[in-house]
């Protein structure tokens, strides 16, 4: 359908975990995991009862590492890399088919501009890349399929005071 419709009642139970660690003075690690179990418990369409919500993965996870160089000739340069996992999920309200799982790689590089000149304190330039490996994906929902986000590169300049 090309419109939204009320489902009825849904139960969602799950668990979200996140951990952060400093592995060395300037190296940080962030990991997360989500388990989400959904079930339609009441509906005007009996075929939906007991089914999972569409486009709602049961498992998602991510791991991100970030390091900034402070004592080398490249002092002020920061690098980050991570991986994201989105589990398989149903494409429609009666769970007739499934979208496959996907694993994506992201990358970041940034520089503290105060390392070039003290008057630039608070300024930082960055380039972030999502879906670094340009993995092609398709996500289907209720008979319509959409292309997933392809490789995206964003450059930014920020000021923090």
pTM score, whole prediction: 0.83
Give the span between the Cα atoms of 51 and 53, in whole angstroms: 7
Task: Say which DSSP state 46 is in.
Answer: G
- Quickly state the pLDDT bin for 8 (edges 50, 70, 90): confident
Q: What percent of the chain has pLDDT over 70?
A: 96
Q: What integer is the mean pLDDT of 24-53?
A: 93
Give the span between the Cα atoms of 61 and 81, in whole angstroms: 14
Give the span between the Cα atoms of 124 and 122, in whole angstroms: 7
Q: What percent of the chain has pLDDT over 90?
A: 78
Burial tier of 50 (Cβ tally within 10 Å: 0-12, 13-18, 19+): exposed
Burial tier of 30 (Cβ tally within 10 Å: 0-12, 13-18, 19+): middle
Structural contact between residues 48 and 38, judged by C-beta atoms closer than 8 angstroms: no
2-16, 20-34, 89-103, 128-142: least confidently modelled range: 2-16
Q: What is the pLDDT of residue 3?
A: 64
Per-residue model confidence as pLDDT tens digits over 87-131: 999 999 999 999 999 999 999 999 999 988 899 999 999 999 999
Per-residue model confidence as pLDDT tens digits over 48-73: 999 999 999 999 999 999 999 887 78
Q: Could you write out the DSSP letters of every residue in 104-120?
A: EEEEEEEEEGGGT-GGG
């Amino acid at each position: 359908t090309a419109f939204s419709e009320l489902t009825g009642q849904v139960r969602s139970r799950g668990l979200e975990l996140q951990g952060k660690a400093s592995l060395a003075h300037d190296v940080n690690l962030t990991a997360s995991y989500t388990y989400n179990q959904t079930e339609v418990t009441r509906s005007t369409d009996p075929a939906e009862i007991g089914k999972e919500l569409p486009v709602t993965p049961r498992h998602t996870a991510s791991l991100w590492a970030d390091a900034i160089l402070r004592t080398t000739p490249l002092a002020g340069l920061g690098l980050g890399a991570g991986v994201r996992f989105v589990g398989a999920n149903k494409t429609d309200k009666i769970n007739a088919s499934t979208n496959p799982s996907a694993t994506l790689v992201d990358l970041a590089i940034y520089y503290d501009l105060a390392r070039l000149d003290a008057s630039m304190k608070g300024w930082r330039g960055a380039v972030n890349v999502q879906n670094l490996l340009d993995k092609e994906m398709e996500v289907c929902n209720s008979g319509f399929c959409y292309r997933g986000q392809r490789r995206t590169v964003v450059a930014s300049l920020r000021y923090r005071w």
